[in-house]
Amino acid sequence: MPTYLDKIIADHRELAGSDTRKTSDLISIARDMPPCLGFRKSLEGAGVSIIAEIKRRSPSKGPLNAELDPAAQAKSYELNGASSISVLTDEKYFSGSLDDLRLVKKSTQVPVLRKDFTVCANDVLDARVNGADAILLIVSALSQQELVELQGLARDVGLDVLVEVHDESELDRAKLAGADLVGVNQRDLYTFEVDSGKAIVLAELIEPAAVKVCESGISSPSQMSALAKAGYDAALVGEALVRSIDPGHTLAELLRAGRGDF
């Protein structure tokens, strides 16, 4: 029986296969874009930074905040200390869009990550020409050759690359590809269940020079404190913020914990 990830990736590969645009044309446009803001650099510094996410729904939980206003949410995130903003642009499973990405980019001054299931060169280039400063590459969704080639293309057009892993074998693949920005996703993309201890276990195995990001399942100050002790540079927080009555306050509380301010 197909898993969530199988279905999502199959759909994205089908879309990629039907894309008739010339990659060379998109590369030319991408190279003419203004310089990207430093997504990776924004996550470095004291304590655990937060990548605050724009996310309307999830495949496993359904609607999270169907009426979410991307621009207003992003402004609240920025005002309350988010180092950067993640925008889910998958339409079918997460109710996102490239329109959301453009709106957030116009509304804020912090770096923006396009979070999606990137499977081809045109996906990378779409991120760049629509205003992203960084993209997500999911190791489990790509062959090693695809991982290396897509990361290389992204860097060539100025994007930072968050390489997402779920276990030690995927971390080895990320290292082999030369990833300098590694995200440990605590959510199993096959079952969508969260293992809140996964990031702690994998922390010491990540290359010391890499910027370390914990993804998924972060909702409490105690979790942020644990990530700080484990040496993480940042946490990507989505559901806890989009479901919050006061996302700015929730974000500020998590940041204080990640910096050891109580």
22 is catalytic: no
Given the residues 78, 170, 215, 239, select the one marked as catalytic: 215
215 flagged as catalytic: yes
What's the CA gap between 109 and 95, in Å, rounded? 24
Q: Measure the CA angle with vertex 140, ends 121 and 13; round to 5°.
A: 40
53 catalytic residue (yes or no): yes
CA distance 206 to 84: 22
Among residues 86, 95, 164, 239, which one is catalytic?
A: 164
Rg (CA), the chain: 17
**115 catalytic residue (yes or no):** yes
| The pair of three-digit structure tokens given for residue 32, joined into one six-digit string | 């003419």
The single residue of 86, 107, 185, 225 carrying the catalytic annotation is 185
- Could you identify the residue written with the tokens 């400063």? 133
Catalytic residue among 58, 83, 84, 216: 216
**Residue 41 is among the residues annotated as catalytic for this protein:** no
Tell me the C-alpha distance between 235 and 240, whole Å. Answer: 12
Say how far apart CA 1 and CA 101 lie, in whole Å: 33
One of 80, 107, 115, 198 is an active-site residue; which one? Answer: 115
Query: Which residues lie below 8 Å from residue 17, measured CB to CB, with a gap of 6+?
Result: none
Side chain identity, residue 145: Q
Tokens of 159: 């994007």
Neighbours of 228 (CB within 10 A): 18
**Pick from 239, 164, 152: which is nearest to 198 by CA?**
164
In whole angstroms, give the CA distance from residue 40 to residue 177: 17
What residues have CB less than 8 Å from 208, skipping those under 6 apart? none
Q: Which residues are designated catalytic?
A: 53, 55, 115, 164, 185, 215-216
